[in-house]
Chains A and B, each alone.
Chain A
Amino acid sequence: MGAAISLFLFGAITAALSLQLPLGAPRMPGTGFFPLALGLALMALAAGRGVQLYLARPKAAAPEAPATPAAPEGDGATRRVALFVAGMIAAVALLQPLGYVLSSVLLMLVLLQILGIRHWYASAAIALVSAAACYVVFVRWLKIPLPSGWLF
């Protein structure tokens, strides 16, 4: 249901924004014509899907229990995914101030920690080696200018 509602809203926003663009005439469709049509089509399909799910709901109401069994392992899972994403956001935000090597070492350390590598020296070694390897491959070998900070 959440999916249908989100997609409906996405379609609605697209359609609304398209209306602000020149639509043109059938003879010569303008910039906004194609996205408007797509937005409307998405709204229609999502609404249809939503109605379909809503109608199917009462029947499934009794054995709706499957929602709970997902929770026990789901809880830690959502937390881990959120931490993963947060770690990546932090690393990317620090990419330019700190430079590539330092921020990627940090990224690896954080991610390894989240996944539960117990010994800090193991994570540190893995993080250092992988960041250095990436640096060598991309900067030295492929000649791609990765952001450099105050260290590298």
Chain B
Amino acid sequence: MWRALDMDVERFDKMRLTLGEIYEKTYLSQVNRPDAMAYFDNMIAEIHGGRIKELLAAKEEGRPVIGTFCVYIPEEIVLAAGGICVGLCGGSQGSVPDAEKILPRNICPMVKSAFGFKAGRICPYFQVLDFVYGETTCDAKKKTWEILDDMVPTHVMEIPQMKNQSDRDMWLTEVKAFKTKVESVTGKEVTIEELRQATRIMNNKRKALQRLNRLRHAKPTPISGKDVLLIEQIAFYDEPVRFTAEVNTLCDELEKRIAAAVAIPNKNAARVMVAGVPMALPNWKLHHLVEGAGAVIVNEESCIGTRYYKDLMDEDAEDMESMLKNLTSRYMQIDCSCFTPNNERIDQVLKEYQESGAQGIIHYSLQFCHTYNIEEIRIRQACEKEGIPYMFIESDYSPEDVGQLQTRVEAFLEQIGD
């Protein structure tokens, strides 16, 4: 199957095995995980197999398969058109050298990793999809799309930089253009009922993740931060209805755990919240480090986490125009640092800190990320003003700085402990 997808199978095979080993060490070594995690472990085991087969089957039926990189792309529209929206991976050090043959070294590791998966032909999702949809969020992404387009049809949605009325109007136009593009693949117009149904599916998915996040805020927490991160990452490429059901099954189990006072092995683990950039699959570096040092991560204020699911879309609309306005409104609430001003993010970070019962915040940035690195200054000031223990980590995907990060994280945990 992979050969038929024109992949570099020899190389890909090695990477697959390495991923398996890393997964074993990082995830399967945890003790007393909820039983329902088995579904998500299996999603990783089948990440290059089962799900790919589902995508190929969808293509056979003429359903569009669209790759995305950002939570601003409206999944509802793809779903309404009967398509599949796949968030592409960008969290592996393995694909970075492929990108560095072409792109400059000093740009975001996530952009490099995602690009490298295509450049190296080592990702079956990239090979299966019809086209990718990029967005004009940050500079690295914006310019990389121009080069990615040589390798896979790349369309770009213009995301505004501010949230004034003129920006909202522009964005609505972009959303409509996106809808037209998706419809051009299916050959038919999306109806309001289809969009309403898709909205419900997405809202249900978000509600399930919100439920999961609330349950993991219990004291003590019934599930590791790593496991929740994994589920949040799988949300980006799994079939939404099935995924939602499985998350709710897990939540039912977590409710029972909480009632029976069953928690993660170290009930007194320091509770840490992570705020900042997204953590694309298979980037587990920070969670593994922090939880390996004896703490537990209880919240991800990140595009992989709450930024993805904190906002529901208003399902109430009479016609397509109102529906699309609701959709645009919903997506406007995403508080990515690429927007200016982004004051609502400061409030959001403080709010989530309180709600999650965390004892400290680690602001996580990827190397070379200008927007998050500069926004971090104001986030830090706000946390210091509130007396919230705070640490800033900027890193990439390589194992080079793990020892140094470990010392910093341990020192931070000592501070929280004292």
* A joins B in a complex: no
User: Measuring CB to CB, which residues of chain A are less than 8 angstroms from any residue of chain B?
Assistant: none
